[in-house]
Structures are given as structure tokens and as C-alpha cells.
Amino acid sequence: MNLHEFQAKEILARYGIAIPPGGVAWTAAEAEAVAGDLGAKRMAVKAQVHAGGRGRAGGVRIASNDRQVRDIAAALLGTRLVTDQTGPDGSLVRRVYVEAAIDIDRDLYLAAVVDRQSGRVALIGARQGGDDIEDRAARDPKAIETLLIEPGEGAATADYPGFARRLALEGTRADKAATLFAAVARAFVDLDASLIEINPLAVSAAGDLMALDAKMVIDDNALFRHQDLAALRDEDDLDEVELEAQRHEINFIRMDGDIGVVVNGAGLALASLDMLVDAGGRPANFMDIRTTATSLQISRGLDLVLENPGVKVLLVNVHGGGMTPCDIVAEAIGISARRTGRRIPTVVRFAGNSADYALTILRNLGTKFAEAATMGEAVERAVRLARGEAA
């Protein structure tokens, strides 16, 4: 779950991380009122969308008085901001964040992520921040410093002072940075985050550190432990189909192909998509049935696939486990077929728990399908059917 900048900053502030004074506004008049309350000589007006590169796209602008803040907000609100991360359609700007502009001595890049090789939390830093950090890191990997966090029963530990020195911070600056690094690591673990990014992390002439921009992503699978964070989800920024799928325990992403894909498990789903593309097919969606999904919930996910008029073929690739046996998916296929009334060529590959029983259920329901023994065979048959060839 992505959080907006103003939400991420409010959370970081609870962990003692300094942020510039500011406030969120939904209208130009509200933006002007926030500016009046700030009373700053210079202010930044920032479009709140779930995408990076806002500055380069004109989504972050500087104002020197309340009236300019109002005019900038009026120009941004209701428009679609197109950045490198939004795609050509852009993201609709529904709110702006107005904050005091801060004079800084230098800026850094800081992020907390999961290091997949070690399975530990890692801090990633660079001596210079900015929205071109990815390009600079690609050109010079040595520009990026990494610190692995050691887990413990109490607070996680690491050489935070040493990491500060590697980012060219000395003296009191290094001490303050070490405290901030520890706070970011603690927040990452406490919140079940998958990303916390502060870019830029500003250093003032007095040596104080402040988060000028912040990005935070929370693991959806952990939201049951964080009901306060779950309430922050901006459903307006989510694809309606994907949101509907999430409500029914399905991870779903629409694509532009013609082969609908029904799979349980993210890894198996990604492998299925790769195999389809390698075989010359065009997937219409990514689907990952969560282990907690019932047959009724899975059927709703199938509805989303079948309601897409561009889908010509349905590929079902399910490996039954203890939580999601194959027969549950078979029941869902029958429910969805009856509800939508749509019948399209279907290729089924069931393996694992209740695989044979699931095939029996489909036959008893009168579902017409081509059975495949392996993933490779299932993919090849689906691609042939999408081309109008015999399976």
C-alpha cells in the first residue's frame, strides 16, 4: 500500500524525524489558508500522487506568497500529472501539500528496504539526493552505500555512526544522522514497510537533518496488524478492477493481452506470464489467489477476467496446497461461468491437493475445458487457442 508524501511525513514525525511545517489542501482556497498559517517567506506546493519524478514533471513548485500558493494549487488540482512512473495517462491531482521551503547546506538520499540476498533490512544511502538518484546509481554503483541491520529481541542494531561517516557526515552531523538512521530502521520494522525513502534528506547549516520528501510503502499482507494505516489507503488512486479484486482476497493487475490467467501464488503467476510471453502469447492479467480466499471470492476474481471483452482464452494454472485445494478453484470457475454467462475456450492444469477431484467437479458442472498435465502443455494450448488454432 502506497502512502502519500504528507501521510509518510506524519508517520515519520512520530519517530522523531524532523519534517518542514506544512499542511494538505483539497482546494486552492484551502492551500492559501495553509500558506497563511505557515507564514513562511517561501513555500513549496506539491502535487500528492503516488509517483516519483514530480519535480521534473512540474508537480512541485515554489511560491513566495499566499496568493502564488493559491494560483499554483489551482493550476495543479484536477490535472493529470505525467511522470516517468505514471505512464502516459498520468495521475489525477486531487490534493496538494503546502510546506515551508527550507534553506539547506546539502542533501542526501536515504532509503530502507529488504535486502533479498541476506533477508535483512538494509539502509541505502547516497551523499547526494535528488530525483535522478536511479540514473546516478546505474552509472556509478559505488555512489550507493548499504548498511545491513542486525535483528535482535530489542531494537535492531547496526553501525549507524559508521554509515553516517560513509555519507561524508562528521561530528554532530554524524551523531544526529545516526539517531535518524536508527529511527528509520525502527519505523520500517514496526510498520511492516517494504520501502521508506527520504529523498532529499536535508542537512542544514546548523547540522540538523530534515526529511524534505518522503515515500512509504506498507506490506498489504501485514495491514491486519495496522488498522490505523489501512485507513490511509487512497482508493481513488487505485484501479477500480484491482481494488475490487483486493476486496475479494485476489491480487490482480490488468494487462493488454487476450489470455486470461487464473493462478494461485505470485511466483507461479509470474512464471505463467513469462511462459506465455515466451510462447508468443499475450496475458490479459496477473492474478494471485491469496490462501485465505474462498470459492465465492475466487469466483469474483474470475468475473473480472471474464468481464474483459478482450479475453479470448482462459488459462487456469493451479497447484493445490493445504489452504487452497484445487477443488475450491474448480467450484469458483463454475460459479463465475453461471453468473457471467460467458463461455470461452479454457485450458486447465491442476496439480497437488484435490487435483483429480477438481477435474471431476468441472466435468460434473458441464464445463468444457482442455486438460493439460504440465505448465508447458497448458501454455502451448492456451496460445494456440488464442490464435484460433485447435488446442
Cβ atoms within 10 A of the Cβ of 29, count?
12
Cα-based distances in Å from 283 to 241, 278, 280, 382: 16, 11, 10, 10
Residue with cell 547526494: 128
* Among 30, 32, 145, 197, the one annotated catalytic: 197
Please state, in angstroms and rounded to a whole number, the distance separating the CA atoms of residues 228 and 231: 5
Parallel/antiparallel/unpaired status of strands 80-81 and 91-92: antiparallel
Please state, in angstroms and rounded to a whole number, the distance separating the CA atoms of residues 23 and 34: 6
Task: Assess whether 109 carries a catalytic annotation.
Answer: yes
Q: Which three cell numbers stand for residue 282?
A: 499475450
* Among 5, 32, 99, 109, the one annotated catalytic: 109
H/E stretch holding 211: strand 209-211
Amino acid identity, residue 40? Answer: A
Helices 28-38 & 66-76 angle (0-180, nearest 10): 150
Cβ atoms within 10 A of the Cβ of 378, count?
24
Amino acid identity, residue 378? Answer: A
Task: Assess whether 97 carries a catalytic annotation.
Answer: no
Can you name the residues that pair with 371 across neighbouring β-strands? 348
Q: Return the active site residues.
A: 109, 197
